[in-house]
């Protein structure tokens, strides 16, 4: 989620230089900072984000969750523009799973009942689910949806995606989440083999955030 300082977003868009990100996820912060690097806009976490009321992400789609978070968190900061994101991995052989459950995929696995779904556990479950699936049938995509809201009213949504496939073993030490398993054919690497700057050029989150930046530039004054 991104909180933009300033009461009137369209009127002051040209003068804004900092976007505050309401997340404690260092991977998301790196991704967004890299995507914003060439725009002259700085990325920083919102101070005290952990003290805000948590929003239950029970939507059936990335759009529903992003919208729900943007609406709820924008009510916590009257007059401010809030951008909330929801993102994850869709694997065709798994009928779109893990999808909106990407961050907690292993927590839904009976073998990890009650455990936190960290990246290692999520990746392990994904590999188990795909162990009998041939390489040509392991197509997948990363999806990110960012929703913008002010005072509980949605102003717009921005979607980005990256098409690839799931490997049989992790590669690379960069990134986070499913990045080590997500192979991106146009460059012949996994997302975990990319620098933050390279990942910003190809990732789902980078694509969605570039649409946000375009909105910044084109919003009527």
**Tens digits of residue pLDDT in 84-139:** 889 999 999 999 999 999 999 998 765 655 445 789 999 999 999 999 999 999 99
Selected catalytic residue, list 31, 58, 85, 86: 86
pLDDT of residue 13: 42
Average pLDDT, the chain: 83
CB contact at 8 A, 146 and 186: no
Which has more pLDDT, 13 or 117? 117
pLDDT bucket at 182, cuts 50 / 70 / 90? very high
- Interatomic CA distance for residues 79 and 185, integer angstroms: 43
Instruction: Extract the tokens encoding 175.
Output: 């990134």
CATH architecture of 2-218: Alpha-Beta Complex (3.90)
CB-based contacts of 49, cutoff 8 Å, min separation 6: 22, 23, 24
Most confident of 18-22, 151-155, 181-185, 206-210: 181-185
% residues pLDDT > 70 (the chain): 83
- Least confident stretch, 10-24, 49-63, 100-114: 10-24
CB contact at 8 A, 147 and 70: yes
pLDDT of residue 121: 93
Residue 31: active-site member? no
Count CB neighbours of 183 within 10 A: 20
Ranges of each domain in the chain: 2-218
Say yes or no to pLDDT of 16 above 50: no
Say yes or no to pLDDT of 56 above 50: yes
pTM value? 0.83
């Amino acid at each position: 989620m991104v909180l933009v300082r300033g009461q009137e977003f369209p009127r002051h868009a040209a003068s804004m230089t900092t976007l505050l990100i309401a997340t404690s996820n260092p991977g998301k912060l790196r991704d967004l900072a890299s995507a914003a690097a060439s725009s002259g806009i700085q990325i920083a976490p919102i101070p005290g984000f952990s003290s805000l009321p948590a929003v239950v992400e029970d939507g059936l789609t990335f759009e529903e969750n992003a919208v729900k978070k943007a609406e709820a968190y924008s009510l916590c900061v009257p007059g401010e523009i809030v951008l909330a994101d929801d993102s994850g991995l869709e694997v065709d052989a798994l009928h779109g799973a893990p999808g909106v459950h990407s961050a907690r995929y292993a927590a839904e696995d009976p073998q990890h009942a009650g455990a936190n779904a960290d990246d290692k556990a999520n990746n392990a479950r994904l590999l188990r689910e795909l162990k009998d699936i041939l390489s040509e049938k392991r197509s997948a995509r990363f999806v990110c949806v960012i929703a913008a809201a002010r005072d509980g009213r949605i102003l717009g949504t921005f979607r980005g995606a990256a098409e690839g496939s799931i490997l049989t073993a992790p590669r690379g030490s960069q990134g986070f989440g499913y990045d080590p398993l997500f192979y991106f054919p146009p460059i012949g690497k996994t997302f975990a083999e990319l620098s933050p700057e390279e990942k910003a050029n190809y990732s789902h989150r980078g694509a969605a955030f570039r649409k946000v930046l375009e909105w910044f530039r084109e919003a009527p004054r």
